Amino acid sequence: MKFWFWFLCGLAVCLIAAPPAAAQAGQPRPQVGLALSGGGAKGFAHIGVLKVLEEAGLAVDCIAGTSMGSIIGGLYAIGYPPDSLAALARNENWSGLFNDAITRRDLPMKEKPWDGRYLGTFPIRERNVQLPAGLITGQKVTALLARLTWRVGALADFKQFPTPFVCVATDLETGEAVTLGHGYLPEAMRASMAIPTIFTPVNRDHRLLVDGMLVRNFPVTEVRQLGAGVVIGVDVGAPLATADKLTSVFSIIDQAISFRGAEINAREREQCNVLIIPDLTGLGAASFDRADTLIHRGEVAARRVLPRLRALVDSLAAFGQPAPRQPLPPADSIYVSELTVRGLRQVSHRLVMAEFGLRPPVWVTATQVERAINRVYRSQFFERVTYRFEPREDGMRLIIDVIEKSADLFRLGLRYDSSTKAALLLGTVFRNRAEHGSSLNFDLRLGDQFEVDAQYYLHLGLRSHLGLRQRLNYARTSLDIFSGSRTVARYRQRMTFAEAMLGSFFSNVLVTGVGFRVESSHFTPEVAVPLFPERDASIISIFGLFWFDSLERAVFPTRGHSLRLQSAAGYNQPGRELRYFRHAVDWQGFYPVTRRLTLLNRVQLGSVSEGDPPLHDYFFLGGASSFWGYRPQELSDRNLQALQLGGQYEFMTNRYLSVRWNIGGVTPVWEWNLNRRRFHTGAGLMVGAPTILGPIELTIMRSSRHPFLAHLNIGYRF
């Protein structure tokens, strides 16, 4: 009896300790695959799952991801640990990535006069005003992904990553799922997350690709095709809505177009060995500000299946330990031996090279390349500018891929103010018409003041920022002449001028340059006494300009400076005799004290030397945009000295209160005497808000001349 007892015990021990038959037969270890679904910000839950997988000691052999799953999965595949991914989810400004608009600070100086001027801008293609293919080209998203994947920039086969990886996109033409496992990783990720109508499609291998969520939001099939024998799936996609949620036209349409995806998703779930579905109640695809909560929900869901994960680890242990992931060597800098620009059609190669600023052979860092790419992008000639590397015998080949802006622009502005009444502004922008790397801007202003303006900019490609501006302008405006606070005359001014200037128009903060101008003006009195006859002037002037602008926005700025210095020498057009010198300084500064409170100042100085300048070259003070407490053009003379101080407070979201006080004066000769008696003072209060029509501002002012003045402005100033 004892014999059989010990025999059976020994047999049981042998059976427990023995590896499975497959392992004994030398079968390879089953590959463990990870499928990560799309879901926008909800994809942050994948990070919590990855944390638990590593805690359980479960090695992942291959990964497939869709949309946000492609970003989390792709970064994990190239070596980012869960902690680094969590820090990225928390700290990155994700909402800012979904806006490709160049901030005002980064706009080239040639574009800043038009910023904050138009109610709407529309692309023109084939002589028709059209809507864009998507709201976002993905420049900022691609730049972020390029920086994060810098270390694998030269790896075109995603199977060579520390963990083999593929992502899924949708062919917009055929509706087929497209598996992306080679090429440029940031471009593949960008295609996999290209939400239709939000992001423009990605043109890759002669296919238009959009978000993979349309046909394969949960890529279990793709990870099986990578060789996975065991699949762990994490699905954060939105399920079909219940009947009580289908209460609007939009919810019903969304439900109708989700049927096919739900059916495919159900089949994909059935292929999972371990299925993890985090509880994301109360969280949505746009909950980027809830990163910690989303990561925690993913971790909680993974811990529910932790016993199964540990059992899986134990069963795989019989096959031996898997080969550890080989991290890629760090690549702080890369040696570039060659540079190629692809995609140029209308823009000159010399423009790109002048703005890029890095010329091989050269060692470059990710930061240097990103800044160089940004300089090219903000020139405003390209929809998207990206880069990639190709290995060569003597280093790396840096390839700059550009997509030119093929559309011209139609722009519309509309405003009303109590001084000049209603006005309409129609504008167009034509690119690369006369010369590569050029833009031609036309503006037509209709209203009490009439103006036609054409400006032509050409990037010379000789050095960064350097360009040529040619301008032709005709304007018909009114000029009031005051005696004290009383209007004694009104001139109707008709002026035509043409000018050319060489300067740093493509810099984002500073224009320095010189130019010359030819102008002809005629002043006809409309309401006047005999002391104000008709006047004509024909002037040729040579001028220099220094203009610095770092304001973060044109309307209700809260930080930055604008400093404009200009000097000109005017000559009689027939005889070329020196007629006058004119010097002007205008400095505005904004200083944030708290998140809502901003202090501000403005200094205006000017002088016209002895001579006979035309009326419009005098200096004028007055009005809500110049000098509070006085009517527009109420103070005028050859010399100007003015100071304005104040503060701006955001008392509600996008609701502003501004208080300002100013002191200044105009004189026939320049005076250094700062006796207050010779200066005028004024103060006021402005309440304003940005709206869909532009800013609305109501200003109440007073001064020694006027106990009460009010000014209303609706719309962008032009």
Count the domains in the chain: 3
3-class secondary structure, 554: coil
Distances (CA, A) of 139 to 145, 350, 488: 10, 22, 56
Share of the chain above pLDDT 90, in %: 64
Task: Verify that 249 and 360 share a domain, yes or no.
Answer: no
- In angstroms, the CA 569 to CA 515 distance is 11
Asked if 345 contacts 404 with a C-beta cutoff of 8 angstroms, the reply is yes
Q: Residue 147 domain-assigned?
A: no
H helices of 258-396, in order, are 259-270, 291-304, 306-317, 349-356, 366-377
pLDDT, tens only, 408-445 = 899 999 999 998 899 999 999 998 887 888 999 999 99
Nearest to 399 by CA among 407, 390, 411: 390
Mean pLDDT (the chain) is 88
Q: Are residues 647 and 609 in the same domain?
A: yes
Question: Which of 289, 318, 347 is at the close of a domain?
Answer: 318
Q: How far is CA 32 from CA 159, 229, 635, in A?
A: 15, 6, 80
445 is a domain residue = yes
In a domain, 567, yes or no: yes
Residue 128: pLDDT band (50, 70, 90) is low
pLDDT exceeds cutoff 70 at 327 = no
Task: Give the max Cα distance, the chain.
Answer: 140
What is the Cα–Cα distance from 542 to 517, expressed in whole angstroms? 6
Same domain, yes or no: 393 and 429:
no
Whether residue 610 has pLDDT greater than 90: no
Q: What is the DSSP string of 184-230?
A: -HHHHHHHHT--TEEEPPEEETTEEEEETHHHHSS-HHHHHHTTEEE
Give the span between the Cα atoms of 681 and 664, in whole angstroms.
Answer: 7
pLDDT, position 262 = 75
Judge whether 508 lies within some domain.
yes
CB of 73 within 8 A of CB of 220? no
217, 257: one domain: yes
Among 318, 343, 369, give the residue marking a domain's end.
Answer: 318
Per-residue model confidence (pLDDT) at position 122: 84
Same domain for 516 and 456? Answer: yes
Separation of alpha carbons 234 and 36, rounded Å? 5
Name 43's Cβ contacts closer than 8 Å, sequence gap at least 6: 36, 37, 67, 68, 69, 71, 72, 236
- Cα–Cα distance for residue pair 718/706, rounded to 1 Å: 27
Instruction: Judge if 400 and 449 occupy the same domain.
Output: no
Per-residue confidence band for 126, with pLDDT thresholds at 50, 70 and 90: low
Instruction: Say which range, 164-168, 261-265, 371-375, has the weakest mean pLDDT.
Output: 261-265
Q: Which residues contact 426 (CB under 8 A, 6 or more apart)?
A: 410, 411, 412, 413, 443, 444, 446
Q: Give pLDDT, residue 618.
A: 94
pLDDT at residue number 609 = 87
Give pLDDT, residue 346: 87
Q: Are 513 and 553 in contact (CB under 8 A)?
A: no
What pLDDT digit, counting tens, does each position of 276-299 carry?
A: 999 998 888 889 999 999 999 999
In the listed set 292, 318, 344, which residue is the last one of a domain according to the structure? 318
Kindly state the helix (H) or strand (E) to which residue 23 belongs, with its residue range: helix 21-24
- Specify if 96 maps to a domain: yes
For residues 162 and 203, state if they share a domain: yes
As given in the structure block, the two tokens for residue 657 are 């209160």
Inform me whether the pLDDT recorded for 366 exceeds 80.
yes
Q: What integer pLDDT is reported at residue 240 of this predicted model?
A: 63
Q: 213 in a domain, yes or no? A: yes
pLDDT tens track for 84-98: 999 999 999 887 887
Return the ∠ at Cα 506 (arms to 503 and 509), rounded to 5°: 90
Q: How many CB atoms lie within 10 A of CB 678?
A: 11
Is there a single domain that holds both residue 524 and residue 598? Answer: yes
Query: With bands split at pLDDT 50, 70 and 90, how would you rate the model's confidence at 19?
Result: very low
- Confidence label for 200 from pLDDT (cuts 50, 70 and 90): confident
Contact 210, 191 (CB under 8 A): yes
Q: Are 35 and 212 in contact (CB under 8 A)?
A: no
Residues forming a β-bridge with 586: 564, 604
pLDDT of residue 319: 80
pLDDT of residue 21: 40
| CATH number reported for the structural domain that contains residue 262 in this entry | 3.40.1090.10
CB 399 within 8 A of CB 387: yes
- The stretch 707-718 carries a mean pLDDT of 94
Give the number of other CB atoms < 10 A from CB of residue 42.
26
How high is the pLDDT of residue 22? 42
Q: Does residue 480 fall inside a structural domain?
A: yes
- Asked if residue 571 belongs to a domain, the reply is yes
CB 295 within 8 A of CB 48: yes
Output the domain CATH number for residue 343: 3.10.20.310
Residues 278 and 249: beta-carbon distance below 8 Å? no
CB 564: neighbour CB atoms within 10 A?
Answer: 16
Is 195's pLDDT higher than 50? yes
Q: Which of 131-140, 346-355, 492-501 has the lowest mean pLDDT?
A: 131-140
Q: Which residue type occupies 657?
A: L
pLDDT over 50 (residue 1): no
Each residue of 43-74: pLDDT tens digit?
Answer: 999 999 999 999 999 999 999 999 999 999 99
- Give the model's pLDDT for residue 257: 52
Can you name the residues that pair with 669 across neighbouring β-strands?
Answer: none
- Tell whether 50 and 198 lie within a shared domain: yes
160 & 204 share domain: yes
Q: Do residues 61 and 196 both lie within one domain?
A: yes
**Domain match, 396 and 448 both:** no
Q: What is the mean pLDDT of residues 507-524?
A: 95
Owning domain of residue 167: 32-100+154-318
The 10s digit of each residue's pLDDT in 448-465 is: 899 999 999 999 988 889
pLDDT in tens, 533-591: 888 889 999 999 999 999 999 999 999 999 999 999 999 876 678 889 999 999 999 99
Long-range contacts of 200-204 (CB under 8 A, 24+ apart): 200/132, 200/133, 200/134, 200/136, 200/137, 200/138, 200/383, 201/133, 201/134, 201/172, 202/138, 202/169, 204/180
Q: Which of 235, 232, 254 is nearest to 245 (CA)?
A: 254
